[in-house]
Amino acid sequence: MLSTLEILLPIFGLILAGYVCRKRNVMGPNAASELNRFVVWLALPALLFDTISHASFKDLYRPGFIATFTIAVAIIFAVTLVWRLATGRHLSDAAVDAIAAAYPNTAYIGFPLGMIVFGEASQTPAMIATLIVACVFFAVAIVLIEIGVQSERRPHKLAAKVVMSLLKNPLIVSPIVGGLVAAAHITLPQSADTFLKLLGNAASPCALVCLGLFLAQPRPSAALRGASIVLTVAKLLIQPAVTWWLAAKVFKLDPEMVDITVVLAALPTGTGPFMLAEFYKREALITSQTILLTTVVSLLTLTGVLTLMAR
């Protein structure tokens, strides 16, 4: 538990810093939105491009792990989306809730926790998981949000508007361009590489501070808190359980890979869903509470998972 707490404490600290700054009026009421724009338009695209452009596709080819992790995330995403739509939620808001229930924080908790528990064996799976959630499912959520926010209902014009919006979205364009650079084996100049890393390294801390700024606003109603609890249960309990079944029973991965996959699935929700909600001006209270709740509760659930694994 102490190792897990040590990894989670900086995350709590950054959220708290944003919360205190807003409460003391050090940062104004528009600070969360403006900081989030920086993350969405500059920092996160730089991070996605840098990660994809340096990826070795040969090293990342692990079909059993990829299938297990992708299917598990897809199941939680799809079930949550259908549930939220059935409760009368707007498609765009339902897509944000779905990604909040299925989006593990592999990049900023998965890597250090995996290194402590499993050593180097966890780093490639953590990289693959990060690419899956940050590129594939992020893109799916963005497509659904774009469909939801478009007013045009004629199919061909709706499709055209969605495609044009996606082509202008830096979170879609940057990983695609990064993949083309990697496929062409292009080596970027050192100055460009440094530029991307400086921007990319700012994505997570700025997003966490932004979350704290948002949480400093008035508390949501009891109904919103109830939805956040359901999403938290889906993220921390149901997703790792589904992942274990797929890894151990369906794809029959080796025992260590089963453990690594389950731990990655049991991670708390990352800040990506909140950034999407803020960027598209959707209701972000459920998402922000889900991130906070999963991060706090994961101290117990991750400890329980690692105890069951005798690690």
Percentage of the chain modeled with pLDDT above 90: 33
How far apart, in whole angstroms, are the C-alpha atoms of residue 236 and residue 163?
34
Domain 2-308 sits in CATH at 1.20.1530.20
The pTM assigned to this predicted structure is 0.81
Two tokens at 10? 């900086």
**pLDDT per residue rounded down to tens, the chain (311 residues):** 666 677 777 878 888 899 899 989 898 888 888 888 898 889 888 888 888 888 777 767 889 999 999 999 999 999 999 999 999 999 999 999 999 999 998 877 887 788 888 888 888 888 889 888 887 888 889 889 888 877 656 666 666 766 777 777 787 788 888 888 888 888 889 999 999 999 988 887 888 888 788 878 765 555 557 889 999 999 999 999 999 999 999 999 999 999 999 999 999 998 888 888 888 888 788 898 898 889 889 888 988 888 888 76
Structural tokens at position 114: 């995996």
Rounded distance, CA 256 to CA 21, Å? 43
Report how far Cα 122 is from the mean position of its chain's Cα atoms.
Answer: 18
Nearest to 203 by CA among 214, 192, 211, 215: 211
Whole-number pLDDT of residue 96: 93
Q: Which residue has the tokens 């921390």?
A: 236
The pLDDT value given to residue 172: 79
Q: Report the SS3 class of residue 268.
A: coil
Q: Residue 1: what pLDDT? A: 60
Q: Which amino acid is at 216?
A: A
Beta bridge partners of 269: 104
> Can you give the pLDDT at residue 36?
83
The amino acid at 273: P
> And the tokens for 216?
């400093």
Domain boundaries in the chain?
A: 2-308
All residues at 6 or more sequence positions from 271 whose CB lies less than 8 Å from its CB, including other chains:
105, 204, 207, 208, 210, 211, 291
Outline where 150-247 has alpha helix (H).
155-167, 170-183, 190-201, 203-215, 222-233, 239-245
Contact in structure between 73 and 139 (CB atoms under 8 Å): no
Within 10 angstroms of residue 199's Cβ, the number of other Cβ atoms is 19
